[in-house]
Amino acid sequence: MKRILSLLMVFVMVFSMAACSNEPADNSTAGGESEGTEAPQDALEWAQGITDTQIIVANSAATSGAFAPVGVPFNAGIEAYFKKINGEGGIQGRDIVFTHVDDEFDPVKGKAALSSFVEDEKVFAIVGHFGTPVVAATLEDLKEYGIPAVYFATGIGQLYNDKAEGRERNIFPVQPIYRTEGQIMVARAVGDFGASKIGVIYTNDDAGKDMLWGAETMAEQLDVELVIQQVAAGATDVSSAVTTIKDAEVDFVIGAAIQATIPTIIKELAAQSVNKDVITTYVNVSPVIAEGVVNEINGKFDVYGNGWVSFEGERANALAEFAEYTVGYETNVYAMTGWIAAHFFVEGLKRVDGVITWDTYMDALEESPINNPFGGQIDFGNGLRAGTQEMNLSKINHDNPAGEWVEEKPLQSIDSILN
């Protein structure tokens, strides 16, 4: 049990790091049909990267340098899942072949790698697009190519789309996106804590702004009031923002800031006796954060945090299967995320009955929700690209000064929380 709890706490660290193209006019070079047209199966051509014996996919990831401890196991998890699938007979009798380039977390090298994958090697899809700088630099290129891209090792807001179509459709994020999480935070404040007036302290970086976007979107839907204050990322003095929140007499507080700033916000809330419960992002659910604030909040208010994985019930079986195929990485959370990336990619392939084109594959991904082996469902239907849509809720344990989060609520969707 302690090992599983440690995995849950460390899992969040994966994502704090994540922290003119030649598009075919109708996807014809990729074996796709023209947009808006459903061609009969016997008229379709197999997509690029699919041979009689193989389905070739790729990614570029940092497998050397400072991010190698993340990139190497991440890719190992992808490879392990494909090994499992190939051992089971592959997809329509074809083995999945995974190729990758070390981009060293460099967006210039990432762009070059993507161009080579699509134009020269003509791979079928990108699986596990890695790291905020590379993803940000290549996202428009991916859209221009139209190549399916499944799982992004970052939570940047540019991935969010509630109605992806046309050149936006090929983007399939899985891990949490801050815009979605901001919506979930407001849903929790209303559904679990009965709040009608919510204070939001957000940082002026992309993470803070994206969480604010989500909070404002959900607050408008639910007709609740937000009292919003901005602070600088990494700020050491947030007293003015906290005073404004205190004077507004809010019911609940959202700390839309990542690890460098959230302890400062929480400590100042305690110092000014703003004794209202606080919720923050999943990337802050770590023992270090809990240890840093537990003494200040003890007896005053609770601090909650989101999470997106669980190893209970059937997911314990998934964890055992993962360990069987990832010898040497059995407890490595970065390898787990690679496993998740490959799982989502393969689930789409399994659903295609007949010729696999980019369009038939994307249709399959959108057909119905897909289960995360270590989490909840993700729905890509009707163009929804929101990443993780079900999150659980943990709370800092006041009785453990060493820093501990305990789960309070299971994985739930926004609808489930509000119900």
**Tens-binned pLDDT, residue by residue, of the chain (419 aa):** 444 544 554 455 444 444 433 333 344 344 444 444 455 666 789 999 999 999 999 999 999 999 999 999 999 999 999 999 999 999 999 999 999 999 999 999 999 999 999 999 999 999 999 999 999 999 999 999 999 999 999 999 999 999 999 999 999 999 999 999 999 999 999 999 999 999 999 999 999 999 999 999 999 999 999 999 999 999 999 999 999 999 999 999 999 999 889 999 999 999 999 999 999 999 999 999 999 999 999 999 999 999 999 888 888 999 999 999 999 999 999 999 999 999 999 999 999 999 999 999 999 999 999 999 999 999 999 999 999 999 999 999 999 999 899 999 999 999 999 98
CB 279 within 8 A of CB 195: no
CA distance 235 to 203: 9
Q: At what angle do helices 262-271 and 287-297 cross, to 10 degrees?
A: 10
Tokens of 10: 């460390």
Rounded to whole angstroms, the Cα distance separating 48 from 55 reads 9
Q: Name which of 303, 250, 251 is nearest 281 in CA terms.
A: 303
pLDDT at position 324 is: 96
Of 134, 161, 137, nearest to 17 by C-alpha is 134
Write down the pTM of the prediction: 0.89
Closest among 325, 410, 336, 328 to 373, alpha carbons compared:
336
Cα pseudo-dihedral 128, 132, 133, 137, rounded to 10: 70
pLDDT attached to residue 21: 33
β-sheet bridge partners, residue 149: 126, 171
pLDDT, tens only, 181-225: 999 999 999 999 999 999 999 999 999 999 999 999 999 999 999
Which of the 8 DSSP states describes residue 300?
T
CA distance 28 to 244: 57
pLDDT at position 252 is: 98
Please classify residue 204 by burial: count the beta carbons closer than 10 Å to its beta carbon, then call 0-12 exposed, 13-18 middle and 19+ buried: middle
| Fold of the 179-307+392-418 domain | Rossmann fold (3.40.50)
Residue 178 is given by DSSP the state H
Domains 2-176+312-383 and 179-307+392-418 alike in fold: yes
CB 412 within 8 A of CB 181: no
Q: Are strands 197-203 and 252-256 parallel, antiparallel or unpaired?
A: parallel
- For 20-81, strand residue ranges (E) read 54-61
85 to 60, 121, 152, 284, 317: CA distances (angstroms): 22, 23, 21, 34, 17
Domain 2-176+312-383 homologous superfamily, CATH: Response regulator (3.40.50.2300)
Query: In the prediction, which pLDDT does 314 show?
Result: 84
Is the separation of the CB atoms in 244 and 227 below 8 Å?
yes
Token pair in block for residue 34: 């023209």
Strand partners, 409: 393
Query: Domain map of the chain by residue range?
Result: 2-176+312-383, 179-307+392-418
Compute the half-sphere exposure of residue 265: CA atoms within 13 Å on the CB side of its CA.
33
Q: What is the pLDDT of residues 95-123, one digit of tens each?
A: 999 999 999 999 999 999 999 999 999 99
What is the DSSP-derived secondary structure letter of residue 154? S
Question: Of the candidates 284, 287, 294, 239, which has an alpha carbon nearest to the alpha carbon of residue 257?
Answer: 284
pLDDT of res. 94: 98
* 199 contacts 232 by C-beta, under 8 angstroms: no
